Amino acid sequence: MRTRSLLVGTAQTEAPSHNRWWIYQRERFPILAHSPVILAFSLSAISYSALLRGSDRLPGWRPCAVAFLSSLLSFLQLRLADEFKDFEEDSRYRPYRPVPRGLVTLRELGWVWAGCIVMQLALCVWLQPRLLVLLGITWLYLGLMTKEFFARPWLKARPIVYMVSHMGIMPLVDFYATGCDWATMGYLRPPQGLLWFLLVSFLNGMVVEIGRKIRSPEDEETGVETYSFLWGRKKAVLVWLAIMMATASLACVAARGIGFGLPEVAILSAVIAIAAGLAYGFLRRQGTGQGKQLEIMAGVWSLVLYLSLGVLPLALRYWRLE
């Protein structure tokens, strides 16, 4: 609490600073931390699509660049959406965050959002204008999320429904990324079997979401509905592990479609074992910051999942044919 008080107290000092946008991204959307996972996410989508087409290599640097940059901008828009829809709660319960304390304004973030749309549109037209349909659907869903589907009180009273409704954006972003492969190769429809990959993306979003909202009792904040607060620490951890295992099961089905089923089982089983060990340690120990380990583990899990589901099998196929 002391650090947060200092942050609030220095708001006026930070606001006019030339590096306030650097401070904002460091606190709310750290590029260096997010970029590796988003790169794995986007390259996995392209690689998996290429493997379903029977290819042994990526379609080229332009589709890869567009998939990565568009995905990065989409995840930034997700963060911006949180700033708008949570502004009242943040102002009341989390005044230490950048917007409530005056570091940046919602109006400024609105311009950032508009800039994201312009850049995504330019990238789409540059690569394949037919992808505008998929991009438009993603924008529409993201806009509805920002407005909480015009049912905020109803959704907030049902945390599971709330989470599931917001995870719908994940397969849409992933679908667009896969389109950077199959649409640029002249396909009018996505390759058969892509649905399994999109389902993996949907469930994995829940793994990340729950993993970052499990905390020790000392770290719980008034007005912040973490899953450890809503369900209790033990139940939250068990649900997190259960969804991780369900994600792994779907990933193995998806991997079987590209001839990588058994290796995927081995890789993901090892990561789940590590996650289970960390979860057990979290439940055994009480202390400030213990939940951070599960949040980091969720990120590591995502990185391994996506690399093993697209990039690694494509690289192995390429090397075998060389």
When the pLDDT of each residue in the chain is averaged and rounded to a whole number, the result is 91
pLDDT one-digit tens code per residue, 201-247: 999 999 999 999 999 888 888 878 899 999 999 999 999 999 999 99
pLDDT beyond 50 at 7: no
Q: Are 237 and 280 in contact (CB under 8 A)?
A: no
Question: How would residue 322 be classed by pLDDT, with cut points 50, 70 and 90?
Answer: low
Q: Which residues, 6 or more positions from 105, have their beta carbon under 8 angstroms from its beta carbon? A: 99
Q: Among candidates 152, 173, 170, which has minimal Cα distance to 161?
A: 152
pLDDT beyond 60 at 130: yes
Q: Are 74 and 124 in contact (CB under 8 A)?
A: no
Burial class, 119, CB count within 10 angstroms (exposed 0-12 / middle 13-18 / buried 19+): middle
* 270 or 319, higher pLDDT: 270
* 171 or 9, higher pLDDT: 171
Q: Among candidates 287, 184, 201, which has minimal Cα distance to 247?
A: 201
pLDDT one-digit tens code per residue, 144-193: 999 999 998 999 889 899 999 999 999 999 999 999 999 999 898 999 99
* 1 or 209, higher pLDDT: 209
Question: How would residue 13 be classed by pLDDT, with cut points 50, 70 and 90?
Answer: very low
